[in-house]
Structure 1
Amino acid sequence: MPVIARYFPILAWGRGYNRHTLGGDALAAVIVTIMLIPQSLAYAILAGLPPEAGLYASIVPILLYSVFGTSRTLAVGPVAVVSLMTAAAIGEVAEAGTAGYAVAALTLAGLSGALLLGMGLLRLGFLANFLSHPVISGFITASGLLIALSQLRHILGIEASGKTLPEMLFALTTRLGQINPVTLVLGVGAVAFLFWVRRGLKPALQRLGLGPRAADIITKAGPVAAVAVTTLAVWGLELDTRGVAVVGVVPQGLPPFTLPSLSVDLIGQLFMPALLISIIGFVESMSVAQTLAAKRRQRIDPDQELIGLGAANIGAAFTGGYPVTGGFARSVVNFDAGAVTPAAGAFTALGLAVAAMSLTPLIHDLPIATLAATIIVAVLGLVDVSILRRAWVYSRADFAAVAATIVLTLGFGVEVGVSAGVILSVGLHLYRSSKPHIAEVGLVPGTQHFRNILRHEVITDPAVVTFRPDQSLYFANARFVEDHIFDRVRPGGPVRDVVLMCAGINEIDLSAVETLETINTRLDEMGVRLHLSEVKGPVMDQLCRAHFLSQMTGDVHLAQYDAVAALSPKAALHDVPDQISTVPNVQQRQGIEKSSSQRAWPSQQQT
């Protein structure tokens, strides 16, 4: 039973379901359903699919996530970035508007779901930690700009295409003479109204005396008002005869049963896009889910989230949808509206099913420009240009990675951008771990603590040098540690003992052990012994399985203070002569900058 409960979180929260919980979930479902109807239609069009595909992708996937997902408030469905990535991926294998395009979308969803499900069963949720959040933020920012720019053609009422910033700008500027004035008025009016709804409607309603909850519900229904007004305008004034593009006929009924393609060629073409969509979707979903869960002191299981999102995408593949994930905006709305359990998502799915069966005839005259306005207002909230400033202030390496991701996404498209983001995230991790911080430490007077000689006044013995690597040792950084030691310890120098303080080392791989053997041999040839101190149990277990310890010229000490007591008794006893003074910076001659003074034995003092 515990194993079953782990894979079916619904068994946990379903036991305590009651009338109070039902009330909170039902209210949240009403609000999210109202918000999701225009969003689903808009995101499907962004993906290059018929508008009903957005509704289909928001019904069965939500139901499946409510069974398998661990977040109580995550709202799963079509999102802007994944929709754009879907259009970019399947646009390479099929022409928009064809049956092959729709089948490719189903196949992409099924492939993405299978990948997510497989990673979840293999418990690979930790892989998301390898993606740098600043880099992902840069990708989402650039994608948001591309999405907003891609929708301008619908606002202007012109035919323009392009997948990159230069292509879109060129297409738009060369067709400005084809602008449809009526479409422009509808589109700009919808954008202005939606921005006002987002920022000004709720305060205005509260000034009129409405309570916060009522004002919030009406505000969330703002996009529906834009849809209703512009649809009535098109219908009443017959604006479609004046060139205004409308949604047209939308099939009425529940999602159909569909089958993704099993073509090996198609699967091969879509595999990498599906993997990238899975990764980005999972990272975005986890970020939202963990943020909201922390506010209620709830726990999110990354591995089970992979299973939940995998099941949702597989459901989309068999019900006429396309890839889905947890959406930021609707999840926040779901949370703020009082959703208590994933049942709120199930109720939302029921509401969307009712809409698919009975409301689709009403959106025949819905202007595409209104849906474009909905997308623009939604995605501009994802744009965070300030990430560049924050990254520049904090870390030049982070800034370079973020800036490169943004530039590549804007200049070469989302597939190149997301690929660059993944590569840069992993590359940044490898770069940093390949050059670990290594401190030379000394004894803090009056204590048994050891600190960096460049930051603290410490006692050192010129014959005993202690290095403290602040990272595990493995194939990528072992040579760096070796070079660092021999930049400091030279043949014929005063050093007779080198101590490697292992307090910050959690693991040593075989390559690093071989490097330690090399260090030990080279030091022995110089007449210098190598010692270890503060070795953690698991690391000692690893070392005991190698020949290094039997060959090591020095000893393994339980604590760094024990090593100093054995190798430099006077330093351990703090028996320091009164004439100790700050010494000239010996390390500076070797290219190591020093920021604070150092206490030393008189024999180390320079004149």
Structure 2
Amino acid sequence: MKSVNLSNYLPILQWGRTYNQATLVNDLVAAVIVTIMLIPQSLAYALLAGLPAEMGLYASIIPIALYAIFGTSRALAVGPVAVVSLMTAAAIGKIALPGTSEYVIAAITLAFLSGIFLLLMGVLKLGFLANFLSHPVIAGFITASGIIIAASQLKHILGIQANGHNLLELVVSLIENAVDANWFTVGIGVTATVFLFWARKGIKPLLLKLGVPVWFARIGAKVGPVFAVAATILVVWLYDLGARGVALVGDVPQGLPPLTIPSFSQELWVSLIGSAVLISVIGFVESISVAQTLAAKKRLRINPDQELIGLGSANIGAAFSGGFPVTGGFSRSVVNFDAGADTPAAGAYTAVGLALASLFLTPLIYFLPKATLAATIIVAVLSLVDFSILKKTWAYSKADFIAVLATILITLGFGVELGVSAGVVISVLIHLYKSSKPHMAVVGQVPGSEHYRNVLRHEVITHPNIITVRIDESLYFANARFLEDAIYNLVANKDEVKHVILLCSAVNAIDMSALESIEAINERLVDLGISFHLSEVKGPVMDRLMRASFQEHLSGEIYLSQHQAVLELSKACLKNNCK
């Protein structure tokens, strides 16, 4: 009986064996820095999701600790992120009004459903399903989402009421309510936004001039929001701006995350399940991209299926501790990595730091302006906006350009859920379109070698009695008919052709539909007096053909190499005087 290696399912058992004092110090330093960064960030993303501020902290405590146990990345910092927070607001906003208990319960239930879905994907090893979202489409979706998120936060910068699920609705609502702007709020919001944009590039040179170490200056540039939070809290408190109409975070309950139970209402589950799947997929794609990038810098590896289990556990933890859907965040993970985190234990220490903040620092947040949190969100998400992807895809692939443009326009025009759904569908359709019309080439022998290349690209040797077709794609139901038509067109009205060779060096699989098409090609060519041959068939493909008794009905032969096929068939033609 094969024994189960628990360390495959509990990565903590792997890195925990080598944990030492030096690693502890590195992880503690990283945890302190990330905790300082996460406090305003967590509050801001709760605001973006339309939830009470404390839920942002709650979503950053238990989930981080659970990921430290089950996740495989040593630098990934799990918690609320901008895109997932926006998708959360879009999903539960259709069910309940922000500020109500039903809204909060829907957010908790959404985290639970996302966690269950991620866990199932991990246990069933379905991480590959995330590949159905192409990277250009993801880039387009994140760009459009960044614009919507930034636009949605302008109401807090202006101190007005505005709403909408897409860019057009938001812009119209902002314009209609702009006359009600609170100028104290505008002053705080604009100042904080300008400072945060400057801080991204200005703090580091300033700190270096002051003689601080390079690593500290690099980290200092990442925690600009902390300075903005402290300064605006002080200004609001000193000048009592809350009494002048500046919206404040207000009372935030002190204490550790409460025990919460998601709803098991069938009606609510049906309403949320589609959104949970989309949030899970988007969150996983974002998380695994960050984790793999950071792991590569230390020559470590990430297990995508175990990452699904880690993220699933984190989301279930969020559901039972008053949080909402979470995933691995790019900015906080980079800060964690740059600060020297050696193991996922840094995340566990961050959870302890945030728990202490929830216990002792929440009274200080009372005077925090919502405009400051909005500025934090705007500056963070605008860094995700990248229209250069349109130029790149236009130059490289028109099909990818259409996919990216369509995803951006649909997301901006109809909202994030329809945008990401369209992105998935478009990605799949583009794959089917490309693979349904694979590149095919008639090839000939490169003089003085045994290599065979496209007759349209190279000076090659060909034989009038032999046509060799190379297909650069696996054969399946979507391109089987395309292959048939292409071969029939090549031999039409060419009486001198006696042999057709299908060069299969790029064919990794042949499904049943394609097999039937190949058999039909064989029969059709036999009727025309032409023998049909295959060359360079890969082992696994050959095994399937043998099981189907394909070779028994083949009019020609299956050759180990293309050169062998041409030599033998050309000799046969000379011997038989083919004309």
Q: Which residue type is aligned with residue 328 of structure 1?
A: F
Runs of 4+ in 1 over 6 A off after TM superposition: none
Contact 2:201 2:221 in 1 (8 A): no
Equivalences for 1:136-535 in 2 at 5 Å? 136-491=138-493, 493-535=495-537
Structure 1 residue 486 displacement after superposition: 1.0
Structure 1 residue 569 displacement after superposition: 3.0
| Alpha-carbon distance change, 230 to 500 in structure 1, aligned in 2, over 3 angstroms | same
1:22 aligns with 24
Contact 1:35 1:330 in 2 (8 A): yes
For 1:493-515, what per-residue CA distance to the aligned partner results, in whole angstroms no more than 9, with x for missing partners? Answer: 22111001111111111111100
Equivalences for 1:40-55 in 2 at 5 Å? 40-55=42-57
| Alpha-carbon distance change, 462 to 246 in structure 1, aligned in 2, over 3 angstroms | same
Structure 1 residue 208 displacement after superposition: 2.2
Q: SS at 2:51's partner residue?
A: coil
* Unaligned runs of at least 5 residues, structure 1: 573-602
2:107 aligns with 105
Q: Which residue type is aligned with residue 476 of structure 2?
A: Y
Structure 1 residue 426 displacement after superposition: 1.2
Aligned partners of 1:440, 1:25: CA distance in 2, in Å?
59
Q: Which residue type is aligned with residue 437 of structure 2?
A: K
| Alpha-carbon distance change, 41 to 498 in structure 1, aligned in 2, over 3 angstroms | same
For 1:463-514, what per-residue CA distance to the aligned partner results, in whole angstroms no more than 9, with x for missing partners? Answer: 1000111111111111111111111111552211100111111111111110
Aligned partners of 1:153, 1:170: CA distance in 2, in Å?
12
Aligned partners of 2:476, 2:192: CA distance in 1, in Å?
57
Q: Which residue type is aligned with residue 62 of structure 2?
A: V
Alignment match of 1:131 (pick from 125, 130, 133): 133
For 1:60-98, what per-residue CA distance to the aligned partner results, in whole angstroms no more than 9, with x for missing partners? Answer: 000000000000000000000000000000011111111
Q: Which residue type is aligned with residue 415 of structure 1?
A: E
Aligned partners of 2:573, 2:173: CA distance in 1, in Å?
75
Structure 1 residue 427 displacement after superposition: 1.2
Contact 2:108 2:262 in 1 (8 A): yes
Contact 1:30 1:348 in 2 (8 A): yes
Contact 1:565 1:571 in 2 (8 A): no
Aligned partners of 1:492, 1:229: CA distance in 2, in Å?
83
1:591 aligns with none
For 1:246-285, what per-residue CA distance to the aligned partner results, in whole angstroms no more than 9, with x for missing partners? Answer: 0011110000000000011110110100000000000000
Q: SS at 1:468's partner residue?
A: strand
CA RMSD of aligned residues (A): 1.4
Q: SS at 1:460's partner residue?
A: coil
Q: Which residue type is aligned with residue 556 of structure 1?
A: I
For these two proteins, the number of residue pairs brought into alignment is 574
For 1:267-308, what per-residue CA distance to the aligned partner results, in whole angstroms no more than 9, with x for missing partners? Answer: 011010000000000000011001111111100000000000
Aligned partners of 2:159, 2:388: CA distance in 1, in Å?
32
Contact 2:249 2:365 in 1 (8 A): yes
Aligned partners of 2:437, 2:317: CA distance in 1, in Å?
45
Contact 2:219 2:338 in 1 (8 A): no
TM-score scaled to structure 1, two decimals? 0.93
Structure 1 residue 130 displacement after superposition: 2.2
Aligned partners of 1:542, 1:120: CA distance in 2, in Å?
30
% identity of equivalent residues: 64
For 1:534-577, what per-residue CA distance to the aligned partner results, in whole angstroms no more than 9, with x for missing partners? Answer: 111111110112143211111111111111111113999xxxxx
Structure 1 residue 219 displacement after superposition: 2.8
1:576 aligns with none
For 1:312-355, what per-residue CA distance to the aligned partner results, in whole angstroms no more than 9, with x for missing partners? Answer: 00000000000000000000111111111001100100000000
Q: Which residue type is aligned with residue 408 of structure 1?
A: I
Deviates more, 1:209-218 or 1:162-171: 209-218
Contact 1:276 1:419 in 2 (8 A): yes
Q: SS at 1:289's partner residue?
A: helix
2:82 aligns with 80
Contact 2:70 2:309 in 1 (8 A): yes
Q: SS at 1:261's partner residue?
A: coil
Q: SS at 1:500's partner residue?
A: strand
2:64 aligns with 62
Deviates more, 1:90-99 or 1:206-215: 206-215
Aligned partners of 1:549, 1:354: CA distance in 2, in Å?
72
